[in-house]
Amino acid sequence: MARRPPAPVSPLPQRDGIDPVHVRLPLDGAWPTVRAYLEERYGTAAGPGRIAVMLDAGEFVGPDGPVTAGEPYRPGGHVWFHREPGPPEPVVPFPVEVLYRDERIVVADKPHYLATTPRGRHATETALARLRRDLDLPRLSPAHRLDRLTAGVVLFVADPARRGAYQGLFERREAVKTYEAIAAHDPAVTLPTTVRNRLVKDHGRLDAYEVPGEPNAESRVELLEARDGLGRYRLAPRTGRTHQLRVHMNGLGLPILGDPIYPALLPEQNSEDYRRPLQLLARSLEFTDPVDGTPRRFVSGRVLAAWVDPVGWRG
């Protein structure tokens, strides 16, 4: 199958480190105008009359300028627009530390509670948006992602021409990631062990869950040390399914401390307690640089609070 040509460069600038929405008009479209397509796709979410107002204001832009209300539909065309700002996002009160930066990559040490990239209600308060603004790198992009509640090492690509090379490290499982977690210590659980199963994460459902079938998730779990009923664990995922480590630890009977989903879903009002973050940290990332062959290893400088001060963490 022939690959679609890349989209043209957006005529709209970023806002607060957030890219405009890019719409590629379907090739099999039968709409009489671009407006008709936009109304069908976005009208319900935008609200009655809102698409017309945005068109009149020139907020939908094509490669040649603002889209007019009567502009004919052209299959395969491109349209950009900025999402309307929602309520102010709560500021995540922890910094993103930069571990390394050169002309090709930026390696960050992400705090708990900060999403890696814009998604859902998290947009400006994300590691990507902050780094784009703080480092003046508007074309910065992620090579991979960490869960919002997980802290630790994340690789970003500063040179757009090299994005595919660095993303490929993760797609081919050539990047070696290790994590640390704090959970209860149970001497009855035999460790080290390798957990393999098939995990599914449905759209709109918060938790991932195991189903019968060929394994698609694999994690190595070992106990590093234990004290006062807690264990510090080293986790080495071979795959990267959503919530994989959290589900695997919970399946061993060792749910990670501070997890608002596993083993039980907490009420939303209790899931954002900055004093008790999920005790999961992406400790290190290793790979051979795909551009120059240099061995790379980056280590988080963060600590897991429940291990350093278990009494204080529990409150």
CATH number for the domain harbouring residue 259? 3.30.2350.10
Neighbour-count burial of 297, counting CB atoms closer than 10 A to its CB (0-12 exposed, 13-18 middle, 19+ buried): exposed
Confidence of residue 1 (pLDDT cuts 50, 70, 90): very low
Is pTM beyond 0.85 here? no
How much is the pLDDT for 224?
98
In DSSP notation, 154-213 reads: EEEESSGGGHHHHHHHHHTT-SEEEEEEEEE--TTS-SSEEEEEEEE--TT-S--EEESS
Quote the pLDDT of residue 3: 54
Q: Is a pLDDT exceeding 90 seen at residue 297?
A: yes
Please give the share of the chain, as a percent, with pLDDT higher than 70.
95
* 167 pLDDT tier (thresholds 50, 70, 90): very high
pLDDT of residue 12 exceeding 80, the answer is yes
| Residue 69 shares a structural domain with residue 194 | no
pLDDT of residue 119: 75
Q: What is the DSSP string of 1-53?
A: -PPPPPPPPPSSPPBTTBPPEEEEPPTT---SBHHHHHHHHHHHHH-TTHHHH
| Residues 6+ positions from 240 with CB-CB distance below 8 Å | 144, 170
Indicate the helix (H) or strand (E) that contains 265: none
Segment 143-154 mean pLDDT: 96
Specify the amino acid at residue 40: E
Checking if the pLDDT of 267 tops 80, the result is no
Cα 220 from chain centroid?
22
Each as own residue / partner, the long-range contacts of residues 286-289 (CB below 8 Å, 24 or more positions apart, any chain) are: 286/175, 286/176, 286/177, 287/169, 287/174, 287/175, 287/176, 288/174
- Report if residue 198 sits inside a domain: yes
Do 42 and 105 lie in one domain? The reply is: no
CA–CA distance, 64 with 235 (Å, rounded to integer): 51
Residue 209 falls inside a structural domain: yes
Note whether 181 and 57 are same-domain residues.
no
- How many whole angstroms separate alpha carbon 31 and alpha carbon 13? 28
In the annotation, is 147 catalytic? yes
Cα distance between residue 127 and residue 110, in whole Å: 7
pLDDT surpasses 50 at 61:
yes
Predicted pLDDT of residue 271: 52
When mean pLDDT is compared across 36-45, 85-94, 258-267, the lowest value belongs to: 85-94
Residues with Cβ within 8 Å of 235's Cβ and at least 6 positions away in sequence, in order, are: 178, 179, 180, 181, 219, 220, 221, 245, 248, 249
User: Measuring CA to CA, which residue among 308, 297, 305, 289 is closest to residue 113?
Assistant: 305
* pLDDT category of residue 159 using cuts at 50, 70 and 90: very high
Whether pLDDT at 123 is above 60? yes
pLDDT for position 5:
65
Give the pLDDT score at 315: 61
CA distances from 206 to 242, 258, 268 (A): 10, 16, 11
pLDDT band with cut points at 50, 70 and 90 for residue 209: very high
Whether residues 72 and 124 fall in one domain: no
Q: Are residues 171 and 52 in the same domain?
A: no
Pair 172, 251 in one domain: yes
- Do 190 and 255 belong together in one domain? yes
> Quick check: is 6 in a domain?
no
* 3-class SS shares of the chain: helix, strand, coil, % to 5: 20, 30, 50
The confidence score (pLDDT) of residue 283 equals 98
Within a domain: 89 = no
pLDDT mean over 242-264: 96
Q: Please state, in angstroms and rounded to a whole number, the distance separating the CA atoms of residues 118 and 112.
A: 15
Q: Which of 16, 147, 259, 292 is catalytic?
A: 147
Q: Is residue 159 in a domain? A: yes
Q: Is the pLDDT of residue 96 over 90?
A: yes
User: Please, what is the Cα angle at 113 between 153 and 177, to 5 degrees?
Assistant: 25
| 298 occurs within a structural domain | yes
The verdict on 38 and 117 lying in the same domain is: no
pLDDT score recorded for residue 43: 86
Averaged pLDDT score across all residues of the chain: 91
Answer yes or no: is 181 within a domain.
Answer: yes
Residue 153 scores a pLDDT above 60: yes
Radius of gyration of the chain (CA): 22
Peptide bond into 263 cis (omega under 30): yes
Number of folded domains in the chain? 2
Name the DSSP class of 104: S
Residue range(s) defining the domain that contains residue 36: 21-81
Strand 280-288 relative to strand 176-184, pairing: antiparallel
Are residues 285 and 249 part of one domain?
A: yes
pLDDT band, residue 2 (cuts 50/70/90): very low
pLDDT score, position 18: 83
